[in-house]
Amino acid sequence: MNKPAITADEIKLLAAQAGFDACGLSPAARLDDHAGLMEAWLKKGYQGEMSYLERNRGKRYDPTLLMEGARTVISVLLNYFPAASLPDAQSYKVSRYAYGRDYHTLIRDKLRHLLLLITERTGPVTARVFTDSAPVLDRAWAHKSGLGFIGKNTCLIHPRKGSFLFIGHIITSLEVDSEPVAVTDYCGTCRRCIDACPTGALVDAHILDARKCISYLTIEHRGELPARLKPKFDNWIFGCDICQEVCPWNSFSVAHNVPEFKAGSKLAHMTKRDWEQMDEQLFDELFADSAVQRTGFKGLKRNIDFLKEE
């Protein structure tokens, strides 16, 4: 049998060189267990208006259908935990992952750089890069690659880095010897995330009803926000970090070292009055290349107006 052109350990070293905080590899094969869980979740309608999750399910569960010749999934993590959170005593709240530049662009660039480093060793290979933008079960692949366990809050939790982590993947035709060690689910009897969720979106351990989730409602939901939940929003206007804030594993979180993820000074000094008076010009100034573009100016204004005191 021919020796692989590159080893898993060598790829992990290159991933660190490309700026990632962790890397794991696993054989490209159908995710039968996760497929069953996803199908049961969809059947209950917990996806809400996210109809894109109902499409391309075959490809979502099996990377060999997503990319012909797929043999290995290279999964990476990138920390986004900030050195300081935006002040919220007299302001509205934005999820930490949206403080700076849109992570999709940045992680894709880093993944392409990692792929270049790999092909400098191996020669040309067939490969595709992904980060939260295609039918790929991100957390499932990160878990399978030994990068963490999926907590009761449905986030991937790295036992030494917490859960404020972006996930990316390279699916490639490279055959790499890898035997990832599954990470034990260390949630145990803890249910802090379930108890802390103000809207009851965590209906059970590891099960999220997106239709009740503040992140879903402020980003993905396109209609009016449910008035009955207004007292529970706790000033979140884009996303929500509550289930991560209360997680004991995030006591291990350390500040990221990615300049692009830092909040700009203007965003850091926004008051409630500033948010409420924000026009489209200021929105573009604050969020020109930001994940907040997902909801757009009108969506963010809807969220602010919903929470604004009469």
Question: Per residue in 152-202, pLDDT tens?
Answer: 999 999 999 999 999 999 999 999 987 777 789 999 999 999 999 999 999
Is a pLDDT exceeding 60 seen at residue 1?
A: no
Is a pLDDT exceeding 80 seen at residue 4?
A: no
Is a pLDDT exceeding 90 seen at residue 3?
A: no
How far apart CA 193 and CA 18 sit, in angstroms, is 33
Check 132, 185, 234, 274 and give the catalytic one. 132
Range with the lowest mean pLDDT among 171-180, 246-255, 276-285? 171-180
How far apart CA 217 and CA 2 sit, in angstroms, is 52
132 is an active site residue: yes
At 177 the pLDDT is 85
Nearest to 95, CA basis, from 280, 241, 213: 241
Q: What percent of the chain has pLDDT over 70?
A: 98
At 88 the pLDDT is 78
Q: What angle do CA 222, 210, 149 make, to 5 degrees?
A: 140
What single-letter DSSP state applies at residue 4?
P
**What is the pLDDT confidence band of residue 133, given thresholds at 50, 70 and 90?**
confident
Crossing angle of helices 8-17 and 103-122, in 10° steps, is 130
Residue partners of 100: CB distance under 8 A and separation at least 6: 258, 260, 261, 262, 263, 264, 290
Looking at residues 205-219, what average pLDDT do you find? 97
Nearest to 46, CA basis, from 239, 210, 212: 210
**What is the pLDDT confidence band of residue 5, given thresholds at 50, 70 and 90?**
confident
What single-letter DSSP state applies at residue 24?
E
pLDDT in tens, 42-97: 999 999 999 999 999 999 999 999 999 999 999 999 999 999 999 877 789 999 99
Looking at residues 19-23, what average pLDDT do you find? 98
Q: Which two tokens stand for residue 229?
A: 């939940």
Decide if 48 contacts 216 (C-beta within 8 A).
yes
Quote the pTM value: 0.95
Nearest to 104, CA basis, from 128, 133, 126: 133
H or E element in which residue 17 lies: helix 8-17
At 281 the pLDDT is 97
Sheet bearing 72-79, strands edge to edge: 22-27, 72-79, 165-172, 127-130
pLDDT in tens, 99-121: 999 999 999 999 999 999 999 99
Is a pLDDT exceeding 70 seen at residue 2?
A: no
pLDDT in tens, 213-241: 999 999 999 999 999 999 999 999 999 99
E strand map for the chain: 22-27, 72-79, 93-94, 127-130, 149-150, 156-157, 165-172, 202-204, 207-208, 236-238
Our CA dihedral for 169, 170, 175, 180, rounded to 10 degrees, sits at: -10
One-letter amino acid identity for 151?
G
Mean pLDDT of the chain: 95
Residue partners of 257: CB distance under 8 A and separation at least 6: none
